[in-house]
């Protein structure tokens, strides 16, 4: 009996040792790789760290969009014993609902959940004081900030919570700015305490240098916002550019928004390129250029506008008053609708349309900002009997402010349509130029001779007897044109008698222009005429801009300060 028991015990022990040996073989040989990986996952956590986004600078290398190092809060649900209690402690600090936090922290299958992204330093310190590690931790991130606040917000745009470009330059140049993300490896012991960390090298995004000048941008925005408020208008747009290169020096839109606190999406739209309007009398310069270039009219040709009205295709087109017999120069200076209709009839629809398209209407300018549209332009085969008359005075065509400005820039620079651009350089992290954007001529639209003659005519618009005397600049000649156009009433489908666009577009100094600029005010109250509403804005901006650019007066050769 004792012998049997001894054999049984020996056999049992032998089987036990055999089982242990087999298990060790299984763990150390057969399942070694899987167990090693599991242990690594338990003690080492890999986290993606976004690369620092490239900086956006103005033309003088002043920062417009930068990164700030911040912390984001995460939780590890599978290590939290009481999600409700933890949520209660955190909800007061994070300013979040306890129920929402508890729900996130209750998923025991998850090893990582975001609780709050990019929190401020006070919040970080408050959570650190609670000693909640390893259940609650922090991940370093970067937050996009805009040190100039609302300045140029419609151009720059903004990013989402993950630093991905959502609007403006931030979106258009997302691939350039974003860089390449890295990885952070964090080790922990059995108690969850951090042992070590290492970071793969993330590749910083490229920087952008814009053509915008911060000071000019401020001058333009300040004057535009003041005008919109003064005239109780719905909004406005003003854009400034170098007519010889197409460099956009400033682009302002009202209403505006803060890129970091963007509450109203309807204000994000860059109306300089996204919104179309019927330009009214500013479009007359295009017709004048075509007629002069084709030699169908001369400056001294006379047009009888004494009736103050003309009928075209059953539609009556009026002047604001009877202007008598006018030379072609006076037709433009006094903005006679009757005279311009007669010029259009002489030129003909096909030729007029050819020049309209040559000046860039009906197509996008190619400016690299969000949402540019090409406008609305009908081919002559789709014109009605009255279309030639309507288009002569800037109706039945829908344009963007940037298109109008670019067309005038072509008149100003001697007749060449340039492609406007707003990004000057792409730089790497060492400040080296990776890509440079150069001025690009699209096509010649009129001769230098026509440009010179038309400029002299447009100068008279800003002189005594013209519609834009309020656009005159002290010491420098200005060439330009006013516009006052009715808006369509969406309820009736007819032109409103109370809602207008008031505009002025021009360049200065007119014989050697340093800047071209457009001002459009949407639905001003009280005064409605472009010469009374938009022209003074042009003057205010131009006078301050010329001083800033150190452009001397033509009459004295000196730079003279202005007040106000």
Q: pLDDT (tens digit, 9 = 90+) per residue, 328-375?
A: 999 999 999 999 999 999 999 999 999 999 999 999 999 999 899 999
Q: What domains are there in the chain, each with its CATH number?
A: 214-423+436-548 (3.40.710.10)
Cβ atoms 258, 167 nearer than 8 A = no
Q: What is the mean pLDDT of the chain?
A: 88
Cβ atoms 153, 257 nearer than 8 A = yes
Distance CA 302, CA 266 (A): 48
Residue 26, pLDDT > 60, answer no
Higher pLDDT, 477 or 180: 477
Q: Among all chains, which residue has been given the structure tokens 């005010």?
A: 521
Q: pLDDT (tens digit, 9 = 90+) per residue, 265-289?
A: 999 999 999 999 999 999 999 999 9
Distance CA 391, CA 381 (A): 14
Q: pLDDT (tens digit, 9 = 90+) per residue, 493-542?
A: 899 989 999 999 999 999 999 999 999 999 999 999 999 999 999 999 99
Q: pLDDT (tens digit, 9 = 90+) per residue, 407-456?
A: 999 999 999 999 999 999 999 989 999 999 999 999 999 999 999 999 99
pTM given for the model: 0.84
Percent of the chain residues topping a pLDDT of 90: 66
Preceding amide of 255 cis, omega within 30: yes
pLDDT at 557: 59
Residue 20, pLDDT > 90, answer no
Q: pLDDT (tens digit, 9 = 90+) per residue, 182-241?
A: 665 555 555 555 544 545 566 889 999 999 999 999 999 999 999 999 999 999 999 999
Mean pLDDT of 41-67: 80
pLDDT at 140: 82
Q: Among all chains, which residue has been given the structure tokens 């022990």?
A: 13
Count of other CB atoms within 10 angstroms of residue 112: 13
Residue 13, pLDDT > 70, answer no
Rounded to a whole number, what is the largest CA-CA distance in the chain? 142
Higher pLDDT, 559 or 96: 96
pLDDT at 338: 97
Given pLDDT bands bounded at 50, 70 and 90, which one contains residue 135? Answer: confident
Residue 313, pLDDT > 80, answer yes
Higher pLDDT, 77 or 175: 175
pLDDT at 193: 52
Catalytic residue ranges: 281
Q: Among all chains, which residue has been given the structure tokens 């008149």?
A: 411
* Residue-wise DSSP of 2-62: HHHHHHHHHHHHHHHHHHHHHHHHIIIIISHHHHHHHHHHHHEEEEEEPPPPPPEE-TTS-
Given pLDDT bands bounded at 50, 70 and 90, which one contains residue 245? Answer: very high
């Amino acid at each position: 009996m004792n012998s049997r028991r001894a054999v049984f015990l020996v056999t049992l022990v032998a089987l036990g040792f055999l089982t242990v040996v087999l298990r060790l073989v299984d763990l150390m040989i057969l399942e070694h790789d899987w167990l090693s990986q599991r242990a690594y996952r338990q003690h080492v956590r890999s986290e993606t760290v976004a690369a620092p986004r490239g900086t956006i600078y103005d033309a003088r290398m002043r920062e417009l969009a930068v990164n700030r190092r911040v912390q984001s809060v995460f939780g590890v649900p599978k290590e939290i014993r009481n999600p409700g209690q933890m949520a209660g402690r955190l909800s007061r600090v994070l300013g979040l609902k306890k129920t929402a936090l508890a729900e996130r922290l209750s998923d025991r299958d998850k090893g990582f959940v975001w609780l709050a992204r990019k929190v401020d330093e006070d919040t970080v310190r408050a959570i650190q004081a609670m000693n909640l590690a390893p259940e609650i931790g922090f991940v370093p991130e970067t937050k996009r900030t805009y040190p100039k606040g609302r300045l140029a917000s419609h151009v720059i745009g903004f990013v989402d919570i993950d630093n991905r470009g959502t609007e403006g330059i931030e979106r258009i140049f997302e691939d350039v700015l974003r860089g390449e993300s890295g990885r952070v490896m964090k080790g922990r012991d059995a108690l969850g305490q951090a042992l070590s960390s290492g970071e793969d090298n993330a590749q910083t995004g490229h920087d952008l240098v814009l053509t915008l000048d911060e000071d000019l941008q401020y001058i333009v925005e300040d004057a535009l916002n003041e005008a919109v408020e003064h005239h109780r208008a719905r909004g406005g747009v003003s854009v400034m550019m170098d007519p010889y290169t197409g460099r956009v020096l400033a682009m302002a839109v009202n209403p505006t928004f803060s890129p970091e606190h963007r509450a109203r999406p309807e204000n994000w739209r860059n109306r300089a390129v996204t919104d179309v309007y019927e330009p009214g009398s500013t479009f007359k310069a295009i017709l004048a250029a075509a007629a002069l270039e084709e030699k169908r009219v001369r400056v001294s040709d006379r047009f009888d506008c004494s009736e103050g009205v003309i009928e075209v295709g059953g539609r009556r087109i009026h002047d604001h008053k009877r202007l008598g017999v006018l030379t072609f120069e006076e037709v433009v200076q006094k903005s006679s609708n009757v005279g311009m209709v007669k010029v259009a009839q002489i030129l003909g629809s096909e030729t007029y349309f050819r020049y309209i398209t040559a000046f860039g209407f009906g197509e996008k300018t190619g400016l690299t900002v969000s949402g540019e549209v090409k406008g609305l332009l009908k081919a002559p085969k789709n014109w009605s009997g009255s279309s030639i008359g309507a288009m002569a005075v800037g109706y039945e065509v829908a344009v963007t402010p940037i298109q109008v400005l670019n067309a005038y820039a072509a008149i100003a620079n001697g007749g060449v349509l340039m492609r406007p651009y707003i990004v000057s350089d792409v730089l790497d992290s060492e400040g080296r130029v990776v890509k440079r954007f150069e001025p690009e001529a699209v096509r010649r639209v009129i001769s230098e001779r026509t440009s010179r003659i038309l400029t002299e005519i447009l100068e008279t618009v800003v002189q005594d007897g013209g519609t834009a005397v309020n656009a005159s600049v002290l010491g420098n000649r200005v060439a330009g044109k006013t516009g006052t156009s009715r808006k369509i009433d969406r309820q009736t489908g007819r032109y409103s008698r109370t809602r207008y666009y008031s505009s002025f577009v021009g360049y200065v100094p007119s014989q050697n222009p340093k800047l071209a600029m457009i001002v459009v005010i949407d639905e001003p109250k009280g005064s409605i005429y472009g010469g009374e509403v938009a022209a003074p804005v042009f003057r205010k901006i131009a006078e301050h801009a010329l001083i800033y650019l150190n452009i001397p007066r033509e009459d004295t050769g000196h730079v003279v300060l202005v007040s106000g």
